[in-house]
Chains A and B, each alone.
Chain A
Amino acid sequence: MAKTEPKPIGKLTYEEAFSELEKIVLALESGEQSLEDALSLFERGQGLTKRCSQLLDEAELKVSKLSGESLEPFQEPE
Chain B
Amino acid sequence: MEYIEQPFLFEVSPHWTVTELTRHLRLLLEGDESLQGAWVEGEISNLSRPASGHMYFTLKDANASLRCVMWRNDAARVRFIPKDGTAVEAHGSISIYEVGGQYQLYVDALQPLGEGALFQEFLRLKAKLEAEGLFDLARKRPLPEAPRRIGVITSATGAALRDILNTLRRRLPIVQVTLAPVPVQGDEAPAAIVQALETLNRIAEPEVILLARGGGSIEDLWAFNDERVVRAVTRSAAPVITGVGHETDFTLVDFASDMRAPTPTAAAELATPVTLLDLKSNLVEIGQILTNGVVSIIDTRRDAIEWTRNQLNMHSPLRRLQSERQRLDELSRRGNSAQFHRLQLAAERLNGLENQLTALNPMAVLGRGYAVVTKNKKVISSVTQVKEADRLKVRVKDGEFNARVTGTDR
Q: Which of A59, A60, A64 contacts B178 (CB 8 A)?
A: A64
Checking A15, A61, A71 against B173 with a beta-carbon cut-off of 8 angstroms, the contacting residue is: A61
In angstroms, Cα B291 to Cα A21, docked, is 12
Q: Using a CB-CB cutoff of 8 Å, which residues 20-44 of chain A contact chain B?
A: 21-22, 24-25, 28-29, 31, 33, 35-36, 38-42
B165: contacting residue among A40, A56, A63, CB under 8 A: A63
Q: Which residues of A contact B297 (CB under 8 A)?
A: 28, 31, 33, 35, 38
Report the bound CA distance from A76 to B297 in whole Å: 51
**Which residues of B sit under 8 angstroms from A31, Cβ to Cβ?**
293, 296-297, 300
Q: Which of B104-157 contact A (CB under 8 A)?
A: 148, 156-157
Contact with A along B269-281 (1 / 0, CB 8 A): 0000000100110
**Are A55's CB and B290's CB within 8 A?**
no
With beta carbons under 8 angstroms apart, the residue of B156, B203, B276, B300 that contacts A56 is B276
Q: Is B204 an interface residue (CB 8 A)?
A: yes
Do B290 and A42 touch (CB < 8 A)? Answer: yes
> Which of B34-42, B372-380, B384-392 forms contacts with chain A?
B372-380
CA distance A28 to B169 in the complex (A): 35
Chain B residues with CB under 8 Å of A1's CB are none
Closest chain B residue, CB of each to CB of A49: B287
CA distance A55 to B174 in the complex (A): 8
CA distance A52 to B196 in the complex (A): 33
**Cross-chain contact A38 with B156 (CB below 8 angstroms):** no
Contact of A56 with B174 at beta-carbon distance under 8 Å, contacts A65-B179, A66-B204 already known: yes
Asked if A7 is an interface residue, CB under 8 A from chain B, the answer is no
Give 1 or 0 for each of B357-397: 1 = CB within 8 Å of chain A CB. Answer: 00000000000000010100111000000000000000100
Residues from chain B with Cβ under 8 Å of A28 in the complex: 289-290, 293-294, 297
Question: What's the Cα separation between A53 and B281 when bound, in Å?
Answer: 10
Distance to closest chain B CB from A3 (angstroms):
13
Main secondary structure on A side of the interface with B:
helix
Chain A hits for B395, CB < 8 A: 39
Q: Which residue in A22, A36, A62, A74 is a CB contact (below 8 Å) of B379?
A: A36
Is B212 interfacial (CB 8 A cutoff)? no
Q: Which residue of B lies closest to A40 (CB)?
A: B377
Q: How far is the CB of B295 from the nearest CB of chain A, in Å?
A: 9
A45 to chain B, nearest CB (A): 4
Q: Once the chains are docked, how many angstroms separate the CA of A53 from the CA of B372?
A: 29
29 A-B interface contacts by CB (under 8 A): A21-B286, A21-B290, A24-B290, A25-B290, A31-B293, A31-B296, A33-B297, A35-B298, A35-B372, A36-B378, A38-B293, A38-B294, A38-B298, A39-B294, A40-B377, A41-B294, A42-B291, A55-B174, A56-B276, A56-B279, A59-B173, A60-B173, A61-B177, A62-B175, A62-B176, A63-B178, A65-B178, A66-B196, A66-B200
Residues of B within 8 A of A (CB): 148, 156-157, 162, 165, 168-169, 173-181, 196, 199-200, 203-204, 276, 279-280, 283, 286-287, 289-291, 293-294, 296-298, 300-301, 372, 374, 377-379, 395
